């Protein structure tokens, strides 16, 4: 048995070690043959050479993470531990980790179907992610777009939504079209602000590296070297959907998200999302991911609300038959 001492200098101990040293305890549980003790600004490790080397490398990786993001969470420790202890670490990482957000928060798929979206984005250029509210489909799509930008796989991100009134009139709102639409794009901004520091996000928008715009602004364009997200696609008409699909340029990816249960189009107007999901379902290189109430990651009541409304809608349909 040998001992290794790691000195922690110029850091906030609680932000690195966690509350009540929870981060160190998590590491200790992963290496039961070694003894890891934190005292003041020192971490003492006792064990065999091989384990001490692994633990030392892990702690140094976490220190690098701390100096970059200012904090190490328990989730971060668990992510690095999986990469350390899983034989196929690269595969595990790609499936269960997308990127580090603001403050070092780990952003990763939280359900089986969210993982399917991540896997599909790794191999295909056009993905449909269809499911009810609260399933994280938009959030995951934004995260994958940001990852592609950070990894220099694309040169820009383009995010768009159809400008459809959801039971309210846009006409009375002050400002130009962009100012009228921005409130409807707030979920997109919220997701981006979780993943990119505010000042950098503003810079990206000023330089059009990240473009967020109504669907009408897409007509006539070819989007090369871009990661494209069409959100709320259930509110596109078939013509709008065809227009958007044909914007896909070279070296680009597109994710289309939507919810069949929240169509705000006029009653006799078919949804472009529903039509496209039928027309394109058997084309190689296009993937359709269906999410359900089992993927809801919001408040636990959201899942029950979705199930209750589905039950009500089915009962009404049966009553009309």
Burial of 277-307, coded b for 16+ CB within 10 Å and e otherwise, reads beebeeeeebbbbebbbebbeeeeebbebbe
- Dig out the tokens for 145 from the structure: 């777009």
User: What span, in angstroms and rounded, lies between the C-alpha atoms of 248 and 49?
Assistant: 53
Q: Calculate the CA 215 to chain-centre distance.
A: 21
Domains belonging to the chain, first-starting first, are 2-85 (3.30.1370.10), 109-320 (3.40.50.300)
Q: Is the pLDDT of residue 228 over 90?
A: yes
- Cα dist. 149→52, 156, 190, 270 in Å? 36, 7, 18, 34
Do the beta carbons of residue 213 and residue 205 sit within 8 Å? Answer: no
Percent of the chain with pLDDT over 90: 41
- Dig out the tokens for 66 from the structure: 């701390």
- Among 232, 234, 229, 194, smallest CA distance to 212 is for 229
Nearest 5°: the CA angle 119, 120, 121 is 90
User: What span, in angstroms and rounded, lies between the C-alpha atoms of 132 and 112?
Assistant: 15
One-character DSSP codes across 111-127: SHHHHHHHHHHHH-SEE
User: What span, in angstroms and rounded, lies between the C-alpha atoms of 203 and 199?
Assistant: 6
User: Tens digit of pLDDT for each residue in 10-48?
Assistant: 889 998 998 889 999 999 999 988 899 888 889 999 988
User: What span, in angstroms and rounded, lies between the C-alpha atoms of 215 and 127?
Assistant: 18
User: What span, in angstroms and rounded, lies between the C-alpha atoms of 77 and 298?
Assistant: 24
* Residue 16 parent element (H or E): helix 13-17
User: Tens digit of pLDDT for each residue in 122-137?
Assistant: 999 999 999 988 888 9
- Dig out the tokens for 285 from the structure: 């290189």
- Dig out the tokens for 36 from the structure: 């890891």
- Cα dist. 165→36, 168, 170, 203 in Å? 58, 5, 7, 30
Q: Is the pLDDT of residue 320 over 70?
A: no
Residues 249-273, mean pLDDT to the nearest whole number: 92
User: What span, in angstroms and rounded, lies between the C-alpha atoms of 123 and 285?
Assistant: 8
* Residue 276 parent element (H or E): helix 272-279
- The percent helix, strand, coil of the chain (3-state, each to 5) is 50, 15, 30
Q: Is the pLDDT of residue 169 over 50?
A: no
The pLDDT, as a whole number, for residue 308 is: 85
Higher pLDDT, 297 or 119: 119
Q: How confident is the model at residue 238 (pLDDT cuts 50, 70, 90)?
A: very high
Packing angle, helices 186-195 and 137-150, rounded to 10: 50
The pLDDT, as a whole number, for residue 93 is: 46
User: What span, in angstroms and rounded, lies between the C-alpha atoms of 28 and 77?
Assistant: 11
Higher pLDDT, 185 or 96: 185
């Amino acid at each position: 048995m040998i001992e290794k001492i790691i000195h922690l200098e110029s850091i906030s101990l609680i932000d690195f070690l966690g509350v009540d040293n929870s981060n160190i305890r998590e590491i200790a549980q992963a290496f039961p043959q070694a003894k890891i003790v934190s005292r003041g600004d020192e971490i003492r490790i006792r064990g065999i050479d091989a384990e001490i080397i692994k633990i030392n490398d892990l702690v140094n990786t976490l220190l690098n993470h701390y100096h970059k993001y200012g904090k190490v969470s328990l989730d971060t420790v668990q992510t690095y531990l999986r990469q350390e202890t899983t034989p196929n670490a690269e595969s595990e990482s790609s499936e269960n980790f997308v990127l580090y957000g603001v403050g070092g928060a780990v952003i990763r798929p939280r359900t089986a179907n969210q993982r399917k979206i991540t896997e599909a984005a790794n191999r295909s250029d056009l993905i449909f992610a269809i499911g009810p509210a609260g399933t994280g489909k938009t959030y995951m799509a934004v995260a994958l777009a940001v990852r592609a930008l950070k990894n220099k796989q694309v040169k820009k991100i383009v995010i768009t939504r159809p400008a459809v009134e959801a039971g309210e009139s846009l006409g009375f709102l002050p400002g130009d079209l962009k100012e009228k639409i921005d409130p409807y794009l707030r979920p997109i901004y919220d997701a981006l602000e979780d993943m990119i520091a505010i000042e950098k996000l503003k810079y990206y928008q000023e330089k059009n590296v990240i473009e967020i715009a109504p669907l009408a602004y897409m007509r006539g364009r070819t989007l090369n070297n871009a990661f494209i997200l069409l959100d709320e696609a259930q509110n596109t008409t078939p013509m709008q959907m065809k227009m958007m699909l044909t914007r896909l340029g070279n070296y680009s990816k597109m994710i289309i998200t939507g919810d069949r249960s929240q169509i705000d189009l006029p009653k006799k107007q078919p949804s472009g999302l529903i039509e496209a999901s039928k027309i394109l379902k058997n084309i190689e290189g296009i993937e359709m991911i269906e999410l359900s109430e089992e993927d809801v990651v919001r408040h636990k009541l959201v899942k029950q609300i979705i199930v209750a409304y589905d039950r009500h809608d089915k009962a009404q349909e049966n009553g009309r038959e």
